[in-house]
Amino acid sequence: MRSILVVITLLTLSTSTVQGATAKTKTQKKANMAAPTTFYDPEGVNRPIGLGLAIVVVPSGKTGRAECKFNAGYENAVIIYSDEPTPVELMRCGNISNNNRKTPLQMPAGTYYVTAWHKDAYLGDSDITQHRWTTSKTLVESLNPTGRRVRVEDGTDNDFNDVVVTIPFSPVP
């Protein structure tokens, strides 16, 4: 009898844990749903963003500083947007130098949309301007001691280093 009671208690405990996890997932989904589903590519064409979007939140009391590095054979660009109802471009970096604007970016506390793009064409291709932009894949890592690193994949080797956006957080002075 005692063992049955223990089992029931465990079941109750695990149910409440699952409910907690579900609530958290819903909150996360709600936050992501607030993000736009399309963004302007580097040539100003509005496109579905899909996995090309990474959301970075700079916590209150901190400020971020975003810088890009590239390790890619294709043309790549990252554009960081504000989270206003109509997102505003704050910074742009690319491995073709005329793409670099307002970098590095100082990021006061708030939410930022980091969008990643590439062209399916090698950097040396003479017809590179004829290729259209498409989204890359992004993933977000935590930086030690504090900050975020957005890693970008433009192809299929999954090295996720085609662009690396490093955003250390430091205390507001």
Instruction: State yes or no: residue 120 binds Ca ion (CB under 5 A).
Output: no
Distances (CA, A) of 68 to 90, 159, 168: 14, 16, 12
Using CB under 5 A as the binding rule, whether residue 75 contacts Ca ion is answered as no
Contact segment (CB under 5 A) with Ca ion among 64-72, 106-114, 120-128, 130-138 equals 64-72
Q: How far is the CB of 95 from Ca ion (least distance, A)?
A: 11
The interface region with Ca ion, picked from 7-15, 39-47, 74-82, 149-157 by CB under 5 A, is 149-157
Strands (E), 71-173: 74-82, 89-94, 105-122, 133-135, 137-142, 147-153, 163-171
Q: Looking at beta carbons only, is 43 or 159 nearer to Ca ion?
A: 159
> Nearest approach, Cβ of 41 to Ca ion (angstroms)?
19
**Alpha-carbon span 79 to 93, nearest angstrom:** 7
Residue 164: exposure state from Cβ atoms within 10 A (0-12, 13-18, ≥19): middle
| Residue 139 found at the interface with Ca ion (CB under 5 A) | no
Query: What residues line the site for Ca ion (CB under 5 A)?
Result: 71, 153, 155, 157, 159, 161-162
